[in-house]
Amino acid sequence: MAAPALHLRGLAMEYVRGKPVLRGIDLEVGSEGLTAIIGPSGTGKSTLIRCINRLVDPTAGEILFQGQDLARLRGEALRHARRRIGMVFQEYNLVERLSVMENVLSGRLGYVSPWKAWMRKYPREDIDRAFELLDLVGLSAFPNQRADSLSGGQRQRVGIARAVMQRPQLLLADEPTSSLDPKTSVEIMELMRDLGRSQSIPVMVNMHDVELARRFADRIVGMSGGTIVFDGPPAALSDEQLKGIYGGEGWLH
Amino acid sequence: MATSAAPGTAIAREWRRFTPAQRLARFSVYLVLVAAVVWSARTVEIIPEFLYDAPEQMQDLLHRMWPIDFAHYPEGVHDALVDTLHIASLGTVLAVIMALPVGVLAARNVVPFAPVNYLAKLILVSSRSVNSLVWALLFVAIFGPGALAGTLAIAFRSIGFVGKLFGEALEESNAGTIEALEATGAPWLSVLAKGYWPQVEPAFWSIVLFRWDINVRESAVLGLVGAGGIGMALDTALNLFQWPRVATVLFAIFVVVIVAEVVVTQIRKRIL
C-alpha cells in the first residue's frame, strides 16, 4: 500500500460527556481501494465517517488528510478541505425541488461564487463534466427532471454524481444502500467501487450488510463499542470474527 | 401470565388518563374561562335602551343606504380604490424587501448565533405588536396625510408577519440537504441560495400572497386616520351622512376583497 491518504490517530468523540461513541480510533486508509466499515447499530460507524469531513466535531484525536490535520481546521480552511472530500448519504440529501443537473452541479458550490451559483452560471467545463457523470451513472436522459420525481436508486445515483463532481480525493459514504432494495444496492455499490477505481481515489463506506461488504470491499473494518475489532481483507472475515463484532451467533445461519 | 397473582385474587387495575395534579390544572383552566366570561359580561356596560332599539336602527341605516349610489363611483370612489390597491401592493413589496434579511437572521439553523436570532425576533415582534392603524397614525404625524403614510404603515406592520413566517419556513427546511451542501465546502451564501431557498420558495410566495391579500383589506380602513386610499372616501361620506355613498364604498371594498381572494387562490394553485 502506498502512503496513506487518510490517517486517523486516537480519534475520540463523545456526544454526551463521559459516554464515548468513538474510543480512540487509529486507522490508515491507502490512496486507493474500497474500505467497508461494518458493525452493529450505535457503534459509531456513522460518527466515524462524519468526523472525517467534520460534519461532527471529534472531541480528541487527529484526522491527517494529505498532511493536514482536519480536526484543527475552521472556517475557510475547513471549507477548502471539504471540497476535496465527497460524501454520499443514506437519505440522498438532494435538494428535492431542483433538477437533477442542478443537484449534480451543487458539487461545485465550493468553487463557484454564490452569485454565479444563484444565476445558474456554472463554468462550461463543470457543465460538460456534469453531463459526463450523468452518462456514467445512467441518468443522461433526464437532466432537467426534478429530484423529487426520481426513484430511490436514481436519487442515490444523483447523490454519487454530486459527490464525484467535486473531483474529490476521498469519497465517503454513510450507509448509501440502506434505503434501497437489494438489486439497486448492488448496482450502487458497483458504481461506487468503479468510480473509486477510475478516479483512483479511496472510498470509505459504512454499511450494515455484511454480504455486500464482503462482495465489494477490498478491506473490511469491523467496529464494536466504539473501537476497531477487525481489520483485514474480506477473505479473512470469519464467522468467529463476525460473532466478535456483532455478538451472539443465532443471526449467522 | 407468570407474574400475576392466583386466579380470583387478581386486583382490578385502575386506569386514569390524567394524574390528580393534571386534573386539578384542567379544572382550573375551565374555572378561569367561566370566570372571565362572567366578569367581562358584568363590566362591559351595555346600555339596555341602545340594545333594544338596535334592530330598528339597523333597519333604518340599511334603508338610508339603499339604493346604492353607483353614479358616485367614477368620480368619488374609483381613484381612491386604485390608491388603496397601490398602497397594499407597494407596502407588501417594501415589507418583503425589509423582512427577508430579518427572517434569515431569525432562523436559528441558518444563523446559529443566539444573540442575532433574538435581535431579529425582537424586530419582528415590535413590528407585529403595533396595529396598522397605529402605524398609520405615526406616519401621518411624520409625513402628513396621504398614500405615503399608508404605504409605510402597511409595510411596517407586514415586516413582522412576513419575517416571522419566512424565518419559520427556513427553520423547517430539511437539515440533511443543508448538511450535504456544507459537505461540498459551499460557502454560507451558496448554501442559503442553493439549499435553503429552493426549499422555502413555495412557502415564500404563499406568505407574500397571503400578506398582500390581508393588506388589501387593511389598507381599505387606513384612510379613516388620513393615510390615503378608499378609507378617506368612506370617512368623508360617513361624516356627511351620505349613506348611499357609504354603501357604494362598502360595496367597492367588498368586490375588491373578493377579487383579491380569487386572484390569490388562482396564483397559489399554479405556483405551488
Q: Quick one: which of B78, B31, B92 has its CA closest to B229?
A: B78
Interface contact flag, B186 A96, Cβ < 8 Å: no
Domains along chain B?
72-271 (1.10.3720.10)
| Pairwise CA distance, residues B209 & B122, whole Å | 24
Do you find a cis peptide bond into B67, omega within 30 degrees of 0? yes
- Is the pLDDT score of A131 beyond 50? yes
List chain B residues with pLDDT less than 50: 1-2, 4-5
Residue A1: its pLDDT value, please? 44
* pLDDT for res A252: 74
What local confidence, expressed as pLDDT, does residue A3 receive? Answer: 66
Does this complex have an ipTM over 0.90? yes
Chain A residue at shortest CA distance from B187: A110
Specify which residues A171 forms β-bridges with.
Answer: A86, A203
Note the pLDDT tens digit of each residue in A31-51: 889 999 999 988 899 999 999
With 90 as the cut, is the pLDDT of residue A213 above it? yes
Distance, CA of B260 to CA of B262 (rounded, Å) = 5
Of B184, B189, B195, the CB nearest to A107: B184
- Three-state secondary structure call for residue A121: coil
Mean pLDDT of chain A: 93
3-state helix, strand, coil in chain A (%, to 5): 40, 25, 35
Sequence-ordered list of residues with C-beta below 8 angstroms from that of B41, at least 6 positions apart, any chain: none
Q: Please, which residues 163-202 of chain A have a Cβ atom closer than 8 Å to chain B?
A: 163, 166
Asked whether A173 and A1 are in contact (CB, 8 A), the reply is no
CA A161 to chain centre: 12
pLDDT band at A253 (very low <50, low <70, confident <90, very high): low
Q: Cα angle vertex A197, ends A191, A200, to 5°?
A: 135
**A107 neighbourhood in chain B, CB within 8 Å:** 184
Backbone angles phi and psi of A65, in degrees to 5: -130, 115
Q: What secondary structure letter does DSSP report for A146? A: B
Interface touch B184/A82, C-beta < 8 Å: yes
Which of A26-35, A164-173, A215-224, B65-74 is least confident? B65-74
- What is the C-alpha separation between B262 and B65, in angstroms, rounded? 27
DSSP for residue A209: -
Residue of B17, B150, B24, B23 lying closest to B80 (CA atoms)? B150
Contacts B198 to A, Cβ<8 Å:
95-98
Q: Report the predicted TM-score, pTM, of the whole model to 2 decimal places.
A: 0.85
Maximum Cα interatomic distance, chain B, rounded to a whole number of Å? 93
The DSSP H or E segment spanning B147 is helix B147-171
pLDDT at A21 over 80: yes
> What's the rounded Cα separation, in Å, for the pair B198 and B256?
32
Count the neighbouring beta carbons within 10 Å of the beta carbon of residue B36. 10
> Which grid cell is B243?
349613506
What is the phi/psi pair of residue A183, to 5°?
-65, -45
Q: How many Cα neighbours within 13 Å face the side chain of B271?
A: 16
Q: Does B272 touch chain A (CB under 8 A)?
A: no
Does the pLDDT value for residue A208 go beyond 90? no
Facing residue for A95 by CB, picked from B177, B185, B189: B177
Average pLDDT over residues A64-71: 92
> How many angstroms separate the CA atoms of B122 and B176, rounded?
29
Nearest CB to A114 within list B193, B198, B199: B193
